[in-house]
Structure 1
Amino acid sequence: MSAVGLIMGSDSDWPVMSAAAEALAEFDVSYEVGVVSAHRTPQKMLAYAETAAGRGLRVIIAGAGGAAHLPGMVASATPLPVIGVPVPLKYLDGLDSLLSIVQMPAGVPVATVSIGGARNAGLLAVRILAAGDPALQAKMAAYQESLKDLVEEKHSKLASRRVASGPRSAATREDGA
């Protein structure tokens, strides 16, 4: 049984949404993947949302571009938490999707990540699940520690860089600043 439903309006969204699947897999969180269009298959979308909890899902991640109605419509038909991922398209670079997903009416909450932020959607789903799972919570804490270690490693590499001839004067800098 899958814990997370990972849905998108079109298979063309997969290059973005696959990052959510990768994040879930890193934490051994089971998930299902599917294409559910709010505009082309509205009955399928409603059936998916209405049966999700009964099928054992605990969180839904919904990615959509353009008008991006999928996350909000799914949230309106399920008691589960829904995370919306604005998928960037050819025009407006996903800003239209972001504004559509984030502007939900009262009573229809959708947690919204950044444009193309499917990895963070996956990580947010893990955190939601970890609230009731001490083992998963420990994995998330270890992941957060690894991020700190990565920052320190990057800091050390950058701090070790030295300009061989010392500080450059304004007259010798390429940008003239």
Structure 2
Amino acid sequence: MAKKVLILMGSDSDLKIMNDAAKALAALEVETEIRISSAHRVPDKTMTLAREAKANGFGAIIAGAGLAAHLPGVVAACTTLPVIGVPIQGGAINGVDALYSIVQMPKGIPVATVAVNGAYNAGLLAAQILATGDEALAERLVTFRENLAAEVKAKDEKLQEIGVEAYLNK
């Protein structure tokens, strides 16, 4: 049975950003479950979700949080599954606080971290992690990358054909 990815966020205000992770995973045919569970407001629920994730068929967890951004670290402390943190933009310093909070985990409790609002890449990273044990998913990732390359080549060909000004004005 293919592993799933659990996508967590502390608030529904993060859903628009975190849904990008689900979109990336859906494009690669990876099943997800999206949950709202705050490390501060419902810590018991959050820790239970993390502790039971492996038994519930998940192979990775993506956790998005803004401001103090404790959710990814709390989740990582409760599971040995790979955890990918997504710093969410907001607050007085536009997500830099969340980035620092997630990336500065103490020795022994790692959290992979993507860019501020980088949930799409978090989805791709989760897929790459799962693909180490799923050859069909690995092949879908190769196809995804080939399609990215084809898009870039097509854009360059169009730029060369019509020139910079026309390309910018299209």
TM-score normalised by the chain length of structure 1: 0.89
1-structure distance, mates of 2:100, 2:163: 44
Q: Which residue of 2 aligns with 1:122?
A: 123
Task: Quote the offset at 1:163 in angstroms.
Answer: 7.6
Deviation for aligned residue 1:90:
3.8
Specify whether residues 118 and 162 from structure 1 end up closer, same or farther in structure 2 by C-alpha distance, changes over 3 A only: closer
Identity of aligned residues (%): 51
Instruction: Indicate the residue corresponding to 2:24 in structure 1.
Output: 23
Unaligned runs of 5+ in 1: 165-177
1:116-141 deviation digits (Å, cap 9, x = unpaired): 00000001111111111111100000
Q: In structure 2, what is the Cα distance between the partners aligned to 1:4 and 1:23? A: 11
Report how far residue 3 of structure 1 moved. 0.8
Shift of 1:7: 0.4
Q: Output aligned runs, 1:11-160, within 5 Å.
A: 11-160=12-161
In the other structure, the counterpart of 1:4 is 5
Counterpart-to-counterpart distance in 1, 2:30 and 2:87: 22
Q: Which runs of 5+ in 2 are unaligned?
A: 166-170
Say which SS state the counterpart of residue 58 (structure 1) adopts. strand
Measure the CA separation in 2 of the matches of 1:95 and 1:48.
27
Q: Aligned pair in 2 of structure 1 residues 161, 58: CA closer, same or farther (>3 Å)?
A: same
Is contact 2:67-2:91 (8 Å) kept? Answer: no
Structure 1 counterpart of 2:86, one-letter code: V
User: C-alpha root-mean-square deviation of aligned residues, in Å?
Assistant: 1.5
- Distance in 2 between residues matched to 1:147 and 1:155, nearest whole Å: 13
Query: Which amino acid in structure 2 is aligned with residue 161 of structure 1?
Result: I
1:91 offset after TM fit, Å? 2.2
Q: Measure how far apart 1:55 and its partner are.
A: 1.1
Q: For residues 102-122 of structure 1, what are the alpha-carbon distances to aligned partners after superposition, in whole Å with 9 as ceiling and x for unaligned?
A: 000111110100000000000
Q: Secondary structure at the match of 2:121?
A: helix
Whether contact under 8 Å (2:39, 2:70) holds in the other structure is yes
Larger Rg: 1
> Higher helix share goes to which structure?
2
* Matched letter for residue 46 of structure 1: M
